[in-house]
Amino acid sequence: MKFRFLSLFMALVLSGAAYGQTASQKIGISGHLGLSDYYGDLNAQFFDIGKTYRNQGGITVSYYLTSMFDVAASCTYGGLGYDQAIGQSFGANLFQAHGQFRFKFHNGFILPESSKIQPYLFVGAGIADYANVGIFTDVQMNTNPETDFTTNAGLGVTYMLLDQWGLNYTMMYAHTNGDSKDGLAGVTAGWDQFMIHQVGVVFLLGQANDADKDGVNDAKDKCPDTPDGVSVDKEGCPIDTDGDGIADYIDKCPEVPGVEALEGCPDRDGDGITDDEDDCPDEPGSAEAYGCPDKDGDGILDEDDACPDVAGLEKFDGCPDTDGDGIQDSEDRCPEKAGIPELKGCPDTDGDGIADVDDKCPTIPGVDSNLGCPEIAQETKDVFERALKGIQFESGRDVIKRSSYGILNNVADIMKNNPEYKLIIDGHTDSQGNDDANMELSKKRAAAVKKYLVNKGVAENRLTSRGFGETKPKATNDTAQGRATNRRVEFTVEF
């Protein structure tokens, strides 16, 4: 009888009913040992630590269907029975064969399909063959060997130690269609039932897929496209010794953390220049300056630049010469106008040796004593000096007295003979009378002098008249002589 059942079981196995870890290792074979747990009329409970459990051993072949479902076929052989010190006991040899349909939790949704821990539930059906039944009792019982149909369900878990080897535990509950294995038919517990607890070793046939041939199967390979010949870690990813996220095989500095932009080499100051090529690795710089800072961009390193914040010239240690006259700005009185060293960098347009910045007549050669303007002839000075007292007006009015015409004619001649002259005419009064009236009178008297000179042929645009009233006295206003001095018209030549 057992050989007939064994033949049936092997037929199931060879027909392809098997379980595997992944689609690339579809077939799994496990050998297992365990214990049977009787439930029947003599002892209607499972997990009774006081009763005797009988040994079981067997083999299971499983086959991968999908990521969620497998099928399996197994057979076991061993004892089933119950021993009681006083009363009834029985024992039998039990051979069973069954097929199962399994639901896996390591299906890619609940747990990863490549999980080392692979739990599952199963349901199935098969046969149970009982032989050599022995009964020890005072009551007559059925002692005939029998074959029953069984349904079963249970749970299991596999823990994969290696790609092909794992440990397995299953707990299977079986319900038979018979009720006489314990010699008591239909007394208390109904049809006979039992549980099988098993532990075993699982071996998966075939090699797991390894598309990149790095020695880590695709199910576990987190980097399945690693190039040929590249060393990988246990997860199939290229070795990254320095942990910078750049694999050693493309990392030019594999032992020092670096940045991707520099092919894995470090750049402490973040200036885009690798530390081993950077003369100043802790200060951001430019490639032109070999990684050292040059804030003003003049090509002179800050550490050698006397003016690091302003672009300059190498011959001036990095300091600027804005006007390009060969004199650096810090020593140039006129840094924005090209000049000459003798005048500390200032220009001298008229070439009189007086810098334009100090020259009141920058386009006309002059003398120092006249602030760069031409020297005024002594004769002219004498005329202007006489004019101070020689120009007289009617009292309280801006009408020039005839006695003043001679001196004014001399002034007109000077202006016509010196076309480069410009004349400023300033009118002044003493302090007698109203201040505002004095101011107005001084302006009118100066204007009267200007008009006279214009009438004598002096261009009006060369003459300027102003009045200052009593605000600029040259002598005291407390005496008649002093007041006479203060009533005057002054001439000043400009160019």
pLDDT tens-digit map of 393-405 = 998 899 999 999 9
If asked whether residues 110 and 198 sit together in one domain, one would say yes
Of 131, 124, 104, 129, give the one whose Cα is nearest residue 173. 124
Inside any domain, residue 295: no
pLDDT reported for residue 122: 96
Residues 361, 423: one domain?
no
d(C-alpha 42, C-alpha 80), whole Å: 13
Residues 327 and 476 both lie in one domain: no
Please report the pLDDT score of residue 5 as a whole number: 40
Choose the final residue of a domain: 204, 223, 252.
Answer: 204
- Do both 123 and 196 map to the same domain? yes
* CATH number of the domain within which 83 lies: 2.40.160.20
Instruction: Please check whether residue 185 lies inside any domain of the structure.
Output: yes
Assigned domain for 242 exists? no
Residues 343 and 453 in one domain: no
| Residue 193: partners with Cβ closer than 8 Å, 6 or more residues away | 39, 40, 173, 174, 175, 176
Owning domain of residue 360: 321-371
Q: What is the pLDDT of residue 384?
A: 87
**Structure-token pair, residue 187:** 């007394």
Query: In the prediction, which pLDDT does 319 show?
Result: 92
Q: Rounded to whole angstroms, how far apart are CA atoms 356 and 347?
A: 6
Q: Which helix (H) or strand (E) holds 92?
A: strand 89-104
Q: Are 433 and 395 in contact (CB under 8 A)?
A: no
For residue 434, the domain's CATH number is: 3.30.1330.60
Residue 132 sits in the same domain as residue 59: yes
In order of 381, 416, 454, 486, the CA distances from 423 in angstroms are 13, 11, 12, 20
Question: Cα separation of 379 and 463, whole Å?
Answer: 20
Walk along the chain (495 residues) and give the pLDDT tens digit of each residue: 444 444 433 333 333 333 345 667 789 999 999 999 888 877 778 888 777 788 999 999 999 999 899 999 999 999 888 776 556 677 888 899 999 999 999 888 899 877 889 999 999 999 988 876 655 544 444 445 678 899 999 999 999 998 789 999 999 999 888 777 776 666 666 677 889 999 999 998 876 666 666 667 766 777 888 888 888 888 788 888 888 888 888 888 998 998 988 888 998 988 888 888 888 898 888 887 888 888 888 888 888 888 988 988 888 888 998 899 999 988 999 999 999 999 999 999 999 999 989 988 898 898 888 888 888 888 888 888 888 888 999 988 999 999 999 999 999 999 999 998 999 999 999 999 999 999 999 999 999 999 999 999 999 999 999 999 999 999 999 999 999 899 999 999 888
Residue 80 falls inside a structural domain = yes
Which DSSP state fits 330? G
**In a shared domain, residues 71 and 182:** yes
Do 94 and 165 lie in a common domain? yes
Question: How high is the pLDDT of residue 89?
Answer: 75
Q: Do 161 and 185 share a domain, yes or no?
A: yes
Least Cα distance to 96 among 30, 1, 11, 187 occurs for: 1
pLDDT digits (tens, 9 = 90+) for 123-165: 999 998 887 665 554 444 444 567 889 999 999 999 999 878 9
Q: Does residue 345 sit in the same domain as residue 458? A: no
* Measured distance CA(206)–CA(226) in Å, rounded: 22
Which residues, listed in sequence order, are joined to residue 117 by a DSSP beta bridge? 159
Neighbour-count burial for 42-55, b at 16+ CB within 10 Å, e otherwise:
bbeeeeeeebebbe
CA distances from 393 to 388, 441, 450, 466 (A): 12, 11, 14, 16
Residue 402, judged by CB atoms within 10 A of its CB (0-12, 13-18, 19+), counts as exposed
* Inside any domain, residue 209: no
Answer yes or no: do 330 and 419 share one domain.
Answer: no
Q: Pick from 158, 189, 204: which residue ends a domain?
A: 204
**Is 311 inside a domain boundary?**
no
Q: Is residue 259 part of a domain?
A: no
Distance between the two ends of the chain, CA-based, in angstroms? Answer: 142
Place of tokens 């695709």: 218
Distance from C-alpha of 8 to C-alpha of 16, rounded to nearest angstrom = 13
Residue 33 lies in a domain: yes
Judge if 80 and 189 occupy the same domain.
yes
Provide the number of structural domains found in the chain.
3
Choosing from 153, 170, 204, the residue where a domain stops is 204
The pair of structure tokens assigned to 225 is 């496209």
User: What local confidence, expressed as pLDDT, does residue 216 receive?
Assistant: 73
